[in-house]
Chain A
């Protein structure tokens, strides 16, 4: 019995080594390898998987149409588990072992901030998807990370814009609940508060909590007492559903306002009506005809729920393809220069322009409201 176990153990180790060895081999001459890092397992794998699926589907289309510079594109996705350290390891592994020329991902600021620092040394461009904290492309001293880019608008952009939007709607007092364990939430909160105050509004309560708390009634009770007109909730969708339900239970009647962390089609159902009439900003998502058609094709291929993250996967790889074509080279250095000087790229997330000084794209905000079980597109706000 023990011998048999030993044999099995040795065999399995040998197999793993063999499998790993097979993948490690260099990309063939006729392929360009592009990496992808995100949470492919865990609580947020919903988004990570969607991003990877989007990349794979679009890469197949590019390849079917003759590829880029006559070469086929190969997408390699590694699991960063939504964890900063695992994500950095995945980025390194993509470069050292798989020899990718550029990396797309992740969707979390907390993972991309350390990746940006590593990219300064590794010199392989990384395009964050939904990571919207300022520090993803520019360090604390204001120095640009030359190899770090992003597709989404930044926290300051949406925080500030959303505060202005509410002020435009005649709102005077607001409360905010921040997730102090998440740099995304802290970043959005900071700029929302600053812009709301600058525009003449009053922040009547600014409370803090941690993701994984599940119970926010201690903070919400305090917020309810301050009677705000709106409550800003810069959180991820599961927490948003809990926060909104508990707030309504405690008798808080104000309007809820959110950001792109709300962008999941499951949110209205999870919140069970507590978010009726709430507004949030995000990308236009599947509201444009092109994105809608892509979504139909995506669902036919993968047979899973639609998540806007697949559009990021699509835009990430399309942007890289455009830059590589224009530069006529897939050297990481050439890609970096091309990304930096992009003045026009039209993907499924809408038109964008890269700011060469900050690597932050300039985009319009899409405003959505929650009606019943749907997220309804209201308007583009600039």
Chain B
């Protein structure tokens, strides 16, 4: 029973982690929470769905197009909305408001475009779960975890080991100085948004596989946001740890106490962490948290 619940919790956390890492990545550069991030995941799922449903593409091809689509949408968000605001030297608050606006536009736009009904991907696997002793593991959950793990490890390597990653870290540390040292900040911002978008798209497709595709599915972004605050805003590693902790906590509380207490305990945990360590589990700066 405990093992089963642990497995359940980790698989919930895996999805949170994919979205939370995107929040963290963007926060580390621009110092604002990109509220439209969950909706980018939703749009990625819809793009993939359109390609499987109308063009009859095999799922993998459609999923890759969905991920690419989400990356492009995220890139366009930065190019068309956020960049103008940044260049106007407007306060970070403006970026956040713009992100909220985008989120509402995307959610309602897709409702108009695709309708409110729940849609699903064609089944991609014949077997739905594997049993190991008394523990049942969904094949889809294994796939989700594997994809999330690979994507997050690649992201970690890119950030810590490559010249591009060094550039990101330089901008995160001080945008103006990094610019003076010859880093093309606009290009870096665009790339980071595209990467975050791709991660969101991946999460969107996986979420769609597990929980169907619908216009408000991006609301899961809120949980992912909490995970990234929990782990320390701006820290990708922290966001991943935060996501797993939140996923496992939720499942354990629903499993052993009561579902009614689930969110209460999750948020109480968040408040306690923030009281003890205001920058989150692995965060570095204490400035503006939202």
Contact = CB atoms under 8 A, between A and B. Distances in A.
A242 interface: yes
A252 to B, nearest CB: 9
A43 B214 contact: yes
Contacts of B12: 215
A180 to B, nearest CB: 6
Contact of A241 (B115, B212, B252): B212
A171 to B, nearest CB: 24
Interface string A210-229: 10111101110110010000
Q: How large is the interface on B (under 10, 10 to 19, 20 to 34, 35 or more residues)?
A: 35 or more
B96 interface: no
Interface string A238-252: 100110011011110
Given A221-B255, A266-B117, A41 B214 contact: no
B254 A219 contact: yes
29 contacts: A42-B116, A43-B215, A43-B216, A45-B111, A180-B259, A208-B258, A208-B259, A210-B259, A214-B210, A214-B211, A215-B8, A215-B12, A215-B211, A218-B9, A218-B259, A219-B254, A219-B255, A219-B259, A221-B5, A221-B8, A225-B1, A238-B118, A238-B212, A241-B212, A242-B211, A242-B212, A249-B138, A250-B129, A272-B120
B184 interface: no
A218 B212 contact: no
Nearest to A214: B211
Given A207-B259, A218-B5, A241-B118, 4 more contacts: A46-B115, A215-B211, A221-B8, A251-B129
B128 A245 contact: yes
Closest 5 pairs between A and B when the two form their complex, measured CB to CB:
A218-B254, A218-B255, A217-B8, A249-B129, A45-B116
A62 B32 CA distance: 58
Interface of B: 1, 4-5, 8-9, 12, 108, 111, 115-118, 120, 123, 128-129, 131, 136, 138, 210-212, 214-216, 219-220, 250-252, 254-255, 258-260, 262
A251 B116 contact: no
A177 to B, nearest CB: 10
B128 to A, nearest CB: 5
B213 to A, nearest CB: 11
A207 B214 CA distance: 26
B120 A269 contact: yes
A288 interface: no
Contacts of A269: 120
